[in-house]
Structures are given as structure tokens and as C-alpha cells.
Amino acid sequence: MTVRRHALFAAGVPTYTNAKSSCYVYGTTSEGIDTGVFIEGEGVLFLGRTAVIEMAEVLGLSFNEEGAQLELDNAHLTHQVELLEARIAELESDLVAFGRAIASAARIEAEA
């Protein structure tokens, strides 16, 4: 169960618990925001992506679709870099072990 620290949270698509089972403003079923506000006799108020963007624009704020995509791409690439750094550390450890094995074999060969 999700514990809310504030009233709003991103939701995939509206569910049967949401008022109108869709965006309350446009009736769409795309991703949006679950407000946590209960409308008696209807359910929890859900606002679709388009409604939220238009509300922001009415307030004089702008939403940049390209910027949002870049943020998602950045998060994905940052995760990929972390995975690659972990793999590099693993390979460096293997390389050190291989170097020790070669040195040990050379020492044994020199003694024989």
C-alpha cells in the first residue's frame, strides 16, 4: 500500500476508485495525478496529463515535453552508467587476480 507524504502522486491510469474512472476534467484515461481528494458519491479526484499541463499554462508555468523526456533519458542513462561502473570494478578485480596468477606462474617457472 502506498503511503502518501502529500496529497498528490503520479498514477499510471485511473482506476475504478477514481471519480468517473477517468480524468475529471476531460474524461480521458491516460496517465495523470491522483489527488487523494475524495468527491462524495463519485470517488477520488483524478486529473489527466492534459488537464495538469493546461492548468500549469493557465498559471503562467510552462511544460516542456522535450525537457521531461530528457529527464527520463538522463535517469535511465545514469542508471546504466552505475551498472557499467560496477562491471568495470568487477573486471578490474579479475584483472588483478589474473596478473597475480601470471606472476605466480612465472615465479614457479623461474625456480624450476
**pLDDT, tens digit, 9 for 90 and up, residues 23-32:** 877 877 888 8
What gap in Å lies between CA 50 and CA 26, rounded to an integer? Answer: 8
Per-residue pLDDT, 52: 86
Tell me if 57 sits within 8 A of 63, measured CB to CB. yes
Say how far apart CA 109 and CA 112 lie, in whole Å.
Answer: 5
Which band of pLDDT confidence, cut at 50, 70 and 90, is reported for residue 1?
A: very low
pTM for the predicted model, two decimal places: 0.49
- Domain residue ranges of the chain, discontinuous segments joined by +: 1-63, 64-112
Distance CA 65, CA 76 (A): 17
